């Protein structure tokens, strides 16, 4: 599946959620589904700096594609990480680098997440 196709699925998913509460709940549910990692996974080198909560990210290159795994110490950031993994995991590096992450704005994160939390999603990409 292409980056564009993944982004469209996510945008459609959030478009049917009419309130901020529903969007928060959806992110929290995504966070609950993200597999918990061991304490060994939660190393300082995997920690995403600048996030309001602690979020750890690991990227692995397999067959020229990048695969992500993440964990967090709170459900909302875990859900945000799960969402980013759904979009970016399994893509070629050039696809990720050339992405403008416009889908984050298209689903309205800047209106229902604090600026720090919305920025955390962009920090995920930078890491």
For every one of its 127 residues, what pLDDT tens digit does the chain have, with 9 covering 90 and above?
899 999 999 999 999 998 888 988 999 999 999 999 999 999 999 998 877 788 999 999 999 999 999 999 999 889 989 999 999 999 999 999 888 877 887 887 766 666 665 555 556 666 5
Q: Which two tokens stand for residue 127?
A: 């890491």
Q: Look up the pTM and report it.
A: 0.84
Please identify, in words, the CATH class of the domain defined by 3-126.
alpha beta
pLDDT (0 to 100) of residue 127: 58
pLDDT score of 53: 84
Number of other CB atoms surrounding residue 104 within 10 Å: 23
The counts of H helices and E strands in the chain are 7, 2
pLDDT for position 75: 92
> What are the residue ranges spanned by the domains of the chain?
3-126
| Catalytic residue ranges | 51
Q: What is the pLDDT of residue 102?
A: 79
């Amino acid at each position: 599946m292409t980056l564009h196709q993944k982004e469209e699925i996510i945008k459609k998913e959030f478009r049917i959620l009419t309130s901020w509460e529903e969007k928060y709940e959806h992110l929290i549910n995504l966070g609950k589904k993200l597999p918990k990692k061991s304490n060994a996974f939660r190393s300082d080198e995997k920690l995403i700096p600048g996030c309001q909560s602690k979020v750890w990210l690991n990227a692995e290159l397999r067959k020229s594609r990048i695969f992500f795994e993440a964990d967090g110490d709170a459900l909302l950031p875990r859900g945000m990480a799960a969402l980013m993994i759904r979009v970016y995991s399994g893509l070629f590096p050039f696809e990720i680098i050339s992405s403008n992450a416009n889908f984050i704005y298209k689903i309205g994160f800047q209106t229902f997440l604090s600026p720090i939390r919305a920025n955390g999603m962009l920090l995920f990409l930078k890491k």
